[in-house]
Amino acid sequence: MPSLADRGIRAAQLGVVVNATLAAVKLVAGIVGNTYALVADAVESAADIFGSLIVWGGLQISAQPPDSDHPFGHGKAEPLAGAVVAIMLIAAGVGIAFASLPGIRTPHEEPAPWTLAVLVGVILVKWGMSRRVKAVSTQIDSTAVRVDAYHHLSDAVTSGAAFVGISIALIGERVWGGTHWASADDWAALLAAAVVTFNGANFLVAAMHELMDRAPGAALLDSVRGVAAAVPGVLAVEKLSARKTGLVHRVVIHVQADPKMTLEAAHQLGHRVQRAITAADPRVASVLVHMEPYQSQEAPAIRAP
């Protein structure tokens, strides 16, 4: 069975191939078909290629084992890759917005009707890619792969906006006449740019939270707490914290046991807690167990001054 990192890498590799093909198709269709929205869409797909390459590299680095210089592993490379891709999304959105403004101010030739068929194919491919990559990101809990999935989705959104804009331009010029309807294509590119920029900002915030060791969701913490509390000899779970490092989590837990227990027995109990947690959840790569003397809630211990 492929590892978590391998699943993410395969999704990124597929993204590189798909994005390279679609970028070429959209660029040629946009130039020949006189539609800037499609050219802008091609630029966004080209950015997707680099985004998938960055995710690929980030996952490969994060999968490397700990070494003397990185005793806690290389997991931070994964959310760092996600942050870089999110910044690329923001940059692509801003770039498309600025590039669409001249076409709004100065009408150009109407788009070719056949470009709509190209956009339909692009939307279907990118929507399917987004769903597939998102499923992988959920399976392996990867921020970088999740951002890459929404990168595909943003491409589908920009293509959808281009489809609407080109349709308005074609229908408007044929029904009401005038050349000003051709700018609908550029307005569509501007709308798509706003969506891309908004998504990029959201994913950048998520990646930064992970880089700053934000606590995982309550579901993981509750699961770890329940597993630890069920280990024979554990009388209470005092403290519990966890942080995500790449595709795995590292847990620190304080458990209370019989204060009359020997040091050797407490040491063995700590190992049993550690093994129980890692066996129950493959997402947990390491567990640091602190043993504490049990303090009854009914009769709290009196601390020495």
Q: What is the pLDDT of residues 170-203, one digit of tens each?
A: 777 666 655 556 667 677 778 778 877 888 888 8
More confident position, 116 or 169:
116
Same domain, 173 and 25: yes
Do residues 135 and 29 both lie within one domain? yes
Same domain, 13 and 95: yes
pLDDT > 60? residue 298: no
Residue 305 above 50 pLDDT?
A: no
Find the CATH number of the domain harbouring 90. Answer: 1.20.1510.10
User: Residue 115's pLDDT is what?
Assistant: 78
Residues 170 and 279 in one domain: no
Q: Examine the pLDDT at 109 and tell me if it is beyond 70.
A: no
Check residues 81 and 170 and name the one with the higher pLDDT.
Answer: 81
In a domain, 10, yes or no: yes
Condensed to tens digits (0 to 9), the pLDDT of residues 218-230 reads: 888 999 999 999 9
Q: Which amino acid is at 29?
A: A
- Residue range(s) defining the domain that contains residue 204: 4-211
- Rounded to an integer, what distance in angstroms lies between the CA atom of residue 53 and that of residue 56? 5
In a domain, 43, yes or no: yes
Is 305 part of a structural domain of the chain? no
Across the range 109-115, mean pLDDT stands at 73
For the chain, how many structural domains are there in total? Answer: 2
- Do 142 and 254 lie in one domain? The reply is no
Which range, of 74-78, 254-258, 262-266, 290-294, averages the lowest pLDDT?
74-78
More confident residue, 165 or 251: 251
Instruction: Give pLDDT, residue 302.
Output: 43
CATH number of the domain to which 254 belongs: 3.30.70.1350
The pLDDT of residue 104: 66
175 vs 123, which has greater pLDDT?
A: 123
Q: What is the pLDDT of residue 180?
A: 59
Of 171, 186, 211, the domain-final residue? 211
211, 230, 246 - which closes a domain? 211
Last residue of a domain, one of 169, 188, 211: 211
Share of the chain above pLDDT 70, in %: 86
In a domain, 268, yes or no: yes
Q: Would you state the pLDDT for residue 266?
A: 94
**Has residue 243 been placed in a domain?**
yes
Shared-domain flag, residues 272 and 147: no
Same domain, 204 and 249: no
For the cut 80, the answer to whether the pLDDT of residue 118 exceeds it is yes
For residue 192, CA distances in Å to 10, 152, 189, 256, 270 come to 28, 13, 5, 55, 54
**In a domain? residue 303:** no
Tell me what percent of the residues of the chain surpass a pLDDT of 90.
Answer: 20
| Statement to judge: residues 236 and 199 lie in one domain | no
Residue 249: φ, ψ to 5°: -115, 150
What's the pLDDT at 297? 60
Check whether residue 192 and residue 234 sit in a common domain: no
Q: Is 58 helix (H, G, I), strand (E, B) or coil?
A: helix
Q: Tell me the sheet residues that pair with 289.
A: 253
Measured over all CA atoms, what is the biggest interatomic distance in the chain, rounded to whole angstroms? 91
| Cβ 89 vs Cβ 200: under 8 Å | yes
In the DSSP assignment, the letter for residue 177 is -
Whether residue 301 has pLDDT greater than 60: no
Q: Are residues 134 and 116 in the same domain?
A: yes
pLDDT, tens digit, 9 for 90 and up, residues 13-62: 888 888 888 888 888 887 887 766 677 677 767 777 887 788 888 888 88
User: Are 223 and 192 in the same domain?
Assistant: no
Q: What is the pLDDT of residue 299?
A: 47
How far, in Å, are 101, 110, 111, 114, 224 from residue 178 at the CA level?
A: 19, 10, 14, 21, 66
Q: Is residue 121 part of a domain?
A: yes
201, two tokens: 């900002």
pLDDT above 50: residue 206: yes
Instruction: Please report whether residue 90 resides in a domain.
Output: yes
> In terms of domains, do 171 and 64 share one?
yes
